[in-house]
């Protein structure tokens, strides 16, 4: 496994990292009402989160996003590690999109007006998978 990111991996890592880091900083300043809204959406898709305090959940989500964003922005974090973390995180977001019918048009995977923002997170999943697949294939060749 390479230690440093390959040069061509930097643009998608920087784009995704900056976007996710910003989201984490935004959630860090969330008030109780915003935390309840974020938590409510998550619980609708993932009911096991019901028992988690909304403020604690939003704080934890904020810290996760900041850590993931920083990892993607740091070229010394191996792309396999950063890509695997991004794939897991983005998989949760795509799962949220697929589990909430209001985010999609009836009988379709196409986004509704409310789902457009979350549907776009599929690009994060694609970046994560691309990093993992490339590094996995490179490891197999060595």
By the 10 Å C-beta count (0-12 exposed, 13-18 middle, 19+ buried), 1 is classed as exposed
Query: Could you say which residues of the chain have pLDDT below 70?
Result: 1, 142
- % helix / strand / coil in the chain, to the nearest 5? 75, 0, 20
> What is residue 7's predicted lDDT score, i.e. its pLDDT?
92
> What is residue 4's predicted lDDT score, i.e. its pLDDT?
86
Distances (CA, A) of 118 to 19, 74, 133: 13, 25, 24
Other CB atoms within a 10 A radius of the CB of residue 32 amount to: 10
First and final C-alpha spacing in the chain: 9
> What is residue 80's predicted lDDT score, i.e. its pLDDT?
95
> What is residue 1's predicted lDDT score, i.e. its pLDDT?
66
> What is residue 2's predicted lDDT score, i.e. its pLDDT?
74
> What is residue 40's predicted lDDT score, i.e. its pLDDT?
97
d(CA 136, CA 76): 17
Token pair listed for 99: 């589990």
d(CA 30, CA 17): 20
pLDDT tens profile 11-20: 999 999 999 9
> What is residue 3's predicted lDDT score, i.e. its pLDDT?
79
């Amino acid at each position: 496994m390479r230690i440093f990111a390959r040069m061509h991996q930097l643009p998608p890592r920087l784009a995704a990292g900056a976007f996710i880091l910003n989201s984490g900083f935004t959630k860090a300043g969330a008030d109780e009402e915003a935390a309840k809204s974020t938590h409510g959406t998550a619980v609708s898709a993932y009911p096991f989160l019901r028992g988690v305090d909304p403020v604690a959940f939003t704080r934890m989500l904020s810290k996760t996003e900041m850590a993931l964003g920083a990892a993607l922005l740091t070229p010394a974090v191996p792309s396999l590690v950063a890509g695997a973390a991004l794939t897991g995180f983005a998989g949760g977001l795509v799962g949220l999109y697929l589990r909430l019918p209001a985010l999609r048009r009836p009988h379709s995977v196409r986004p509704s007006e409310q789902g457009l923002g979350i549907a776009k997170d599929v690009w994060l999943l694609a970046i994560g998978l691309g990093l993992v697949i490339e590094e996995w294939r490179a490891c197999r060749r060595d």
